[in-house]
């Protein structure tokens, strides 16, 4: 399941089919008629077909990386491509996400992907436990779709407006920093309780660097396998620029081709330079 699905060469247009708001987040649903079905944990480089860069010298210059949140094969593709409807989860944090959040049905995205290596299914009878924070819930949604809606998921958000995003997954246990929804505290407190009850799990996590580092440390302490979907600044997305390198116990890796999902055991720390927001 962690096989790399290879992207067709070059950038292609994908028509936006719908835009929905979920608290602090926007979900864009788009048609990728010439694309393959991505694996959970893979990502795409996205930009808008129009007004990407507000004018001469204005940002954003480069496409931005986004995890695929959902993928539904349409079977309408030609050749080896299956044709697929893709969903992306966006949080407006800067010029690129702001512009993407403005898109509406009928407008075009430009995308390259699917890129990178995603999650690997649990082996040896262990069950999967998903742990997400903020916009990091995106790759966990497609992973839960693949593993089954009954796969337990723990999600952390800063407040009630962001916690609305939990509705995009099935039966999530929620923690909020301000206590407005669910457990008052951080999601790793929920994880600790789960691991106390049953440590025969593989943990799959995506979220801000501090959360990922807490997950990594907790799992390392208890010898629990974990796969972490990391972030770093990405300029190309396919291995050419070396802008996304992260230090690991095995040396530097390019997160866009060797990740973004890494085995937690290869990391000294999940807090990598230039990652997250």
Give the binding site for ligand FAD (CB under 6 A): 43, 60, 64-67, 89-91, 93-97, 135, 138, 231-234, 260, 274-277
Using CB under 6 A, pick the residue from 239, 268, 269, 277 that binds ligand FES: 239
Binding pattern for the stretch 192-211 against ligand FES, x by CB under 6 A and - elsewhere: --------------------
Q: What is the 3-state secondary structure (H, E, C) of the chain?
A: CCCCCCCCCCCEEEEEEEEEEECCEEEEEEEECCCCCCCCCCEEEEEECCCCCCCCCCCCCCCEEEECCEEEECCCCCCCCCCEEEEEEECCCCHHHHHHHHCCCCCEEEEEEEECECCCCCCCCCEEEEEEEHHHHHHHHHHHHHHCCCCCEEEEECCHHHHHHHHHCCCCEEEECCCCCCEECCHHHHHHHHHHHCCCEEEEEECCHHHHHHHHHHHHHCCCEEEEECCCCCCCCCCCCCCCEEEECCEEEEHHHHCEEEEHHHCCCCCCCCCCC
Q: How far apart are the first and last CA of the chain?
A: 29
- Minimum distance from residue 23 beta carbon to ligand FAD (Å): 13
Using CB under 6 A, pick the residue from 217, 241, 265, 266 that binds ligand FES: 241
Q: Would you state the structure tokens that stand for residue 59, as one six-digit string?
A: 């940002």
- Minimum distance from residue 240 beta carbon to ligand FAD (Å): 15
> Residue 237 binds which one of ligand FES, ligand FAD, none, with CB within 5 to 8 A depending on kind?
ligand FES
Smaller CB distance to ligand FAD: residue 47 or 188? 47
Sheet bearing 201-206, strands edge to edge: 183-184, 173-176, 153-157, 127-133, 201-206, 225-229, 261-263
Smaller CB distance to ligand FAD: residue 195 or 264? 264
Using CB under 6 A, pick the residue from 84, 129, 244, 270 that binds ligand FES: 244
What is the Cα–Cα distance from 31 to 50, expressed in whole angstroms?
A: 17
Smaller CB distance to ligand FAD: residue 86 or 175? 86
Smaller CB distance to ligand FAD: residue 90 or 166? 90
Smaller CB distance to ligand FES: residue 61 or 242? 242
> Residue 113 binds which one of ligand FAD, ligand FES, none, with CB within 5 to 8 A depending on kind?
none
Facing residues of 45 across strands? 65, 112
> Residue 96 binds which one of ligand FAD, ligand FES, none, with CB within 5 to 8 A depending on kind?
ligand FAD
Q: Does 82 bind ligand FES (CB under 6 A)?
A: no
> Residue 122 binds which one of ligand FAD, ligand FES, none, with CB within 5 to 8 A depending on kind?
none
List binders of ligand FES among 253-272 (CB under 6 A): 254, 256
Q: Does 53 bind ligand FES (CB under 6 A)?
A: no
> Residue 138 binds which one of ligand FAD, ligand FES, none, with CB within 5 to 8 A depending on kind?
ligand FAD
Residues that bind ligand FES (CB under 6 A): 234-237, 239-244, 254, 256
């Amino acid at each position: 399941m962690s096989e790399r699905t290879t992207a067709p060469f070059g950038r292609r247009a994908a028509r936006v089919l719908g835009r929905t708001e979920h608290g602090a987040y926007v979900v864009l649903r788009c048609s990728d008629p010439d694309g393959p079905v991505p694996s959970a944990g893979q990502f795409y480089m996205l930009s808008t077909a129009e007004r990407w860069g507000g004018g001469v010298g204005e940002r954003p210059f480069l496409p931005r990386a986004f995890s695929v949140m959902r993928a539904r094969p349409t079977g309408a593709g030609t050749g080896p491509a299956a044709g697929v409807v893709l969903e992306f989860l966006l949080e407006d944090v800067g010029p690129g996400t702001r512009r993407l959040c403005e898109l509406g049905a009928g407008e075009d995205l430009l995308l390259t992907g699917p890129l990178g290596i995603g999650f690997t299914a649990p082996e040896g009878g262990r069950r999967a436990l998903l742990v997400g924070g903020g916009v990091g819930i995106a790759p966990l949604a497609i992973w839960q779709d693949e593993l089954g809606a009954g796969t337990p998921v723990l999600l952390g958000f800063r407040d009630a407006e962001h916690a609305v995003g939990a509705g995009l997954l099935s039966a999530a246990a929620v923690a909020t920093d301000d206590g407005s929804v669910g457990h008052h505290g951080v999601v790793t407190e929920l994880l600790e309780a789960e691991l106390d009850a049953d440590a025969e799990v593989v943990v799959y996590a995506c979220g801000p660097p501090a959360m990922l580092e807490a997950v990594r440390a907790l799992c390392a302490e208890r010898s629990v396998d974990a796969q972490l979907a990391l972030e770093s600044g990405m300029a190309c997305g396919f291995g050419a620029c070396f802008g996304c390198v992260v230090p690991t116990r095995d040396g530097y890796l390019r997160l866009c081709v060797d990740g973004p999902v890494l085995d937690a055991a290869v990391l000294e720390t999940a807090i990598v330079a230039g990652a997250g927001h």
